[in-house]
Amino acid sequence: MYLDPGIGLNNGQANQGAFGAIDGEELRRLGRFAGVLLVAGALVSFPAGVVLEPAPEAPAHLIGLATLLTGVAAFFAPWERMSAKWIHVGLIVSTVEIAAAVAAFSDDFAFFYVIVGMYAAYVIRDRSVLAAYMLFFAVALLAPLVYSDGDLNDQVPQILIVIPVFAFAVFIVRYLRDTLELREREYRLFAFEAVSLAERIRGRPDGGLEGDLEERLGRLAEGEQGTRPRG
């Protein structure tokens, strides 16, 4: 789970940086979730690419295959032994693969940017880093206007639809994630305060708002059992 940097955090066992403090189990969950999204996106894109008119050249379908393999690699990667910085690699690679699909197949594939943006909004805790990614995604969305030989009258309306949907989706995910994290911090603070009060009542050293909450609860439970009369 996400850990509050100021409460009960073991810095030696958590990754720090743009993604906040993430333990190995949470990093594995996020990495595997990214793999599932990539595999699902690749599988969805194959039939869409087949029915396009005019049909793209056969080598273009290697993009979908590359995305599929990327997803499989992300799912089976040993995330618990990896740095959280590898999530950056996944975000950048998936964006490049979507951009390649847009160039080789159709502008319709740009809607996949919404999925990547939502994932980024969920996993990235540093707002400045998230803002940089939003700029990166915006450049990728607008890139077809520069290199495409198609009619701008067809491309501009689609981009004007994708960008607001992208922005709304990112905002909603970020808002819900921040709200959840705020509630988690409040509940965790309440738990520390309750344990601290129990320690003072029992005459034990007050651990304050630091340390391992589960370990402190265990010591209190042991003390309770030790004070019970034996019958």
The tens digit of pLDDT for each residue in 172-200 reads: 999 999 998 888 888 878 777 777 777 77
Q: Is residue 195 part of a domain?
A: no
Full-model pTM: 0.76
Q: Name the pLDDT band for 213 (thresholds 50, 70, 90).
A: low
Count structural domains, the chain: 1
Closest Cα partner for 137 from 167, 108, 178, 158?
167
Q: Is residue 3 part of a domain?
A: no
Residue 15: phi, psi to the nearest 5? -80, 140
The two three-digit tokens of residue 36, written as one number: 């599932």
Residue 191 within any structural domain of the chain: no
What is the structure's pLDDT at 195? 75
CB-based contact 202:220 (threshold 8 Å): yes
Burial 112-129 (b: 16+ CB within 10 A, else e): bbbbbbbbbbebbbeeee
Domain holding 122, by residue range, is 11-185
Element (H, E) at 221: helix 213-227
What mean pLDDT is predicted for residues 62-80? 94
Instruction: Look at 3 and 130; give whichever has higher pLDDT.
Output: 130
Is 101 contained in some domain? yes
> Is 198 inside any structural domain?
no
Q: What confidence tens digit (pLDDT) does each residue in 103-132 have?
A: 888 888 899 999 999 999 999 999 999 999
Say how far apart CA 211 and CA 9 lie, in whole Å: 7
In a domain, 125, yes or no: yes
SS3 of 200, please? helix
The answer as to whether 208 is a domain residue is no
133 pLDDT higher than 60: yes
8 Å CB contact between 129 and 95: no
- Beta-bridge partner residues of 2: 22
Any domain includes 77: yes
